[in-house]
Every structure is written in structure tokens, then in C-alpha cells.
Amino acid sequence: MVFIVLDIRPSEQAGGSDAGPPFALRAGETPLTETLFCLDHQDDPVQVSQCPHCGTPWCANGGCVLVRRVGARIVWMRPWMEAYADESGRYNFIVGGEPVFLPTMDVGWLAQRYAPLPFIEHEPAWFSETDYRELLRRVGAHPDEVLSRIKPLSGGETSYLLRCLMPSLWGERRSDPPSWAVCDDRTLRRNIEPAVHPEGQELLKAVYQLRQGASLVDVVDRAPEFGARLLEEYDTAPGRGIARLGLVVPSAETRESELWHWAGRGCWARVKLSS
Ligand SMILES: [Zn+2]
């Protein structure tokens, strides 16, 4: 599958609101929502599926996506809602990519409010900027204004996005993305092809750097040709065999070495490692 091309049409579900009738979104054959009334990006995460009765954002919970930019692409990814302890052992929470301190009672409430749109719960969805402008225009938003508001994908969010991909690689569905430690526990082996390639050691180092927070520079809809490839083999669900995740370095002879990582649904991301 290439980038998401949306089918946008008036929803058959009647909307009785001042917001006007809702739109229905499909991605190929997959229904995303029947209740898209508006798509302004002032909130982070953005609610793309609103209350079916009144169309007011946040009257109902869920149907949310984190919207970020990677080069010329726009991504809808799972809202980053994770707890972590800081140096002093204080319990913190990530909301919309930013760490905040929350009383425990608010955590469950926020998790419901920012529940992901089911379509992007396990894999991100990538758009070309042209298609995203078209979506915004169709639903009555101002493309230039909205696009100027979309933040670039940060290093921490990149790491989160890659962790969200792992269960679908293993053929599993989980409500929470696994930690890198869990991913490591499931690694059966790492292979470099060809074994003697001069970039081989760089690839191994890259695996660890990726987890610290690399930047994704661009996303394309085909696998790059490779000079060297790292295959990580993972233990999968019973009966599903072994899953292989490829990290790719194109030929280093003619151009600067580049690293590519699988980014879901036939998409590949060019990666810049922080040195
Ligand atoms: Zn309502």
C-alpha cells in the first residue's frame, strides 16, 4: 500500500448540528469515520471523529490522531500517551508529545479523551502534502493556516512511532506499544547482508541510535535498493513463524551513506541519526 488516499464524501449519518452535516472518510476500503464535522489543528492531538449527535469537538471522547510533518509528508499517528518516571522518580506523562505532570486521577480520563482513531492505532498513516491539502479544503479548513501549525516529528515521537509498528510486524495487536526492552527480548538474531559490507558495523550502531531518537527526514512508498541490509528476526505469535524487519543502507559508492527504515504499509523512511 502506498500513501493514504482518502475518499471524502458527505456522511450518510444525519448530523443535527450547527456544524453542518458530517463527512465520511475512507482510506481505500477501510472506513475511518462517519462523523467528521471539522478538522482544525488547534488541538494536539487532533480529534478527527467528533460527537455524532452535535458535532462539537470533545463532546465525545476518542477518534484522535497526532498530526506531524516529516519532510513533504504528513503523518497521522497514535497519540503519544505514556507514563514515565523522571530522575527524581516523579511520575510524568507524555501528552501531545510534551511531558506534563498529572495527578493519577487525570491519567485514565486523558487516555479516554485521546483514544486513537482505530485505523492508526497500530500503524501510522502517511499522506502527501497535496492530498492533505485536498482533505483540509474539502472539510472547510484553511490549508495554508493548518499546515503552518503542524509540528515536525520530534526525536522522541520518532522512537514512539517505531515502537508502535513492532506489534504489527509480529502479527499482533496490543493496546500499548512495547518498550525497546520488550522488542530486544523478542529478537532472535541480527543478520547483515552482505556479511562483509563495510557499512555493516554502522548498521548495528544505527539500531541503538534509532532508539535514542533519530529524525525521519522523508518517507517514500517503495523500498530503496540496498547496498547493505540489516535484518532483525523476531519471534512472532505462535504459528506465524519469524518476522523480519529491514534496515537498509543504499550503495555507499556513489553517494553519501543513507539509512532507511520500514515505516508501515509499504512506506520507507529516510533516517538521520543524531551524532
Ligand atoms: Zn455531542
**Gap from CA of 19 to ligand 1 centroid (Å):** 11
**Residue 1 binned pLDDT confidence (cut-offs 50, 70, 90):** very low
Q: How far is the CA of 110 from the centre of ligand 1 (A)?
A: 18
Task: Please give the distance, rounded to the nearest whole angstrom, from the Cα atom of residue 50 to the centre of ligand 1.
Answer: 8
Are 23 and 127 members of one domain?
yes
pLDDT value, residue 70 = 95
55 C-alpha to center of ligand 1: Å? 6
CA atoms within 13 A of residue 69's CA, in its CB half-sphere: 12
pLDDT at 51: 92
Specify burial of residue 193 (Cβ count, 10 A radius: 0-12, 13-18, 19+): middle
Residues 17, 129 within the same domain: yes
Total domains in the fold of the chain: 3
Distance 236 CA to ligand 1 centre (A): 42
- Give 121 Cα–ligand 1 centroid separation in angstroms: 23
Does residue 227 fall inside a structural domain?
yes
Q: What is the mean pLDDT of residues 225-230?
A: 78
236 and 267 part of one domain: yes
Average pLDDT over residues 144-163: 92
Lowest mean pLDDT among 33-42, 77-86, 151-160: 77-86
Least Cα distance to 32 among 24, 44, 43 occurs for 24
- Ligand 1: distance of its center to the CA of 62 in Å? 13
235 and 128 in a single domain? The answer is no
Judged against a pLDDT cut of 70, whether residue 2 lies above it is answered with: no
pLDDT at 90: 61
Report CA(30)–ligand 1 centroid distance (Å).
25
Whether 29 maps to a domain, the answer reads: yes
Please indicate, yes or no, whether residues 19 and 125 belong to a single structural domain of this protein: yes
Does residue 213 sit in helix, strand or coil?
helix
Predicted pLDDT at 74 = 95
**Residue 18: pLDDT over 70:** no
User: Is the pLDDT assigned to residue 229 strictly greater than 90?
Assistant: no
Is residue 1 one of the residues assigned to a domain? Answer: no
Domain boundary among 152, 181, 204: 152
Same domain, 119 and 148: yes
pLDDT > 70? residue 251: no
The band of 68, judged by pLDDT with boundaries at 50, 70 and 90, is very high
Residue 140 and residue 17 in one domain: yes
230 inside domain? yes
Predicted confidence (pLDDT) at residue 252 exceeds the cutoff of 60: no
Res. 272 pLDDT band, cuts 50 70 90:
confident
- Alpha carbon of 56 to ligand 1 centroid (Å): 6
**Distance of CA 57 from the midpoint of ligand 1 (Å):** 8
Mean pLDDT value of segment 56-62: 93
Residues 18 and 144 in one domain: yes
d(Cα 219, Cα 263) in Å, to the nearest integer? 8
Distance 36 CA to ligand 1 centre (A): 13
Residues 14 and 146 in one domain: yes
**Same-domain check for residues 120 and 221:** no
Among candidate residues 125, 152, 179, the one where a domain is terminated: 152
Whole-number Å distance, alpha carbon 17 to ligand 1 midpoint, is: 9
Protein residues placing their CB within 5 Å of the ion ligand 1: 51, 53-54, 59
Distance from residue 191's CA to the centre of ligand 1 (Å):
53
- Banded model confidence at residue 254, pLDDT cuts 50, 70, 90: very low
Tally of residues, the chain: 275
Contact 68, 75 (CB under 8 A): yes
User: For residue range 165-220, what is the model confidence (pLDDT) as tens digits?
Assistant: 888 888 888 878 898 899 889 888 888 888 777 777 777 787 777 887 788 999 98
Give DSSP secondary structure letters for 29-66. TEEEEEEE-----SSSSEE-S--TTT--TTTS---EEE
**Does 131 lie in the same domain as 194?**
no
Together in a domain, 14 and 138: yes
- Give the pLDDT score at 57: 92
Low-confidence winner among 49-53, 86-90, 133-137, 252-256 (lowest mean pLDDT): 252-256
Classify residue 78 by burial, with Cβ atoms within 10 Å: 0-12, 13-18, 19+.
buried
Half-sphere exposure of 107 (CA within 13 A, CB side): 15
Q: How far apart are CA 5 and CA 18, in angstroms?
A: 28
The residue segments making up the domain with residue 141 are: 6-76+114-152
DSSP state letters, 121-182: SSS-EEEEHHHHHHHHHHTT--HHHHHHHPEEPPHHHHHHHHHHHHHHHTT---SSPPPHHH
Query: Ligand 1 centroid vs 111 CA: distance in angstroms?
Result: 19
Average pLDDT, the chain: 82
Q: CA-to-CA distance for 219 and 128, rounded, in angstroms?
A: 9
Do 248 and 192 meet the contact criterion of CB atoms below 8 Å apart? no
Q: How far is the CA of 115 from the centre of ligand 1 (A)?
A: 17
**Residue 98 pLDDT > 80, yes or no?**
no
pLDDT category of residue 129 using cuts at 50, 70 and 90: very high
Q: From ligand 1's centre to the CA of 52, what distance in Å? A: 7
Residue of 127 and 17 predicted with greater confidence: 127
Q: Please choose, from the candidates 2, 74, 6, the residue with its C-alpha nearest in 3D space to the C-alpha of residue 222.
A: 2
